[in-house]
Amino acid sequence: MQKDLAAGRPLELDAIGGPIVRGGERHGIDVPTTAALIAAIRAKAGEC
């Protein structure tokens, strides 16, 4: 993913971190580290 970010290619954030976050939401489990990492990577990539 770092190489994709450096090359300006689309990231696979939803494919990699999405299931963890959605599973946590579905089962009432907090996943703050994964959510924070996704947010930080999106900010670095300039995504909303």
pLDDT at 47 over 80: no
Tokens of 35: 């959510």
Closest CA to 23 of 15, 13, 33, 31: 31
Tokens of 26: 């579905």
| pLDDT tens sequence across 15-42 | 999 999 999 999 999 999 999 999 999 9
* pTM of the entire predicted model: 0.79
Distance, in Å, from the CA atom of 38 to the CA atom of 44, rounded to the nearest integer, reads 10
Residue 48 banded pLDDT, cuts 50, 70, 90: low
Kindly list the domain boundaries of the chain, sorted by start residue. Answer: 2-45
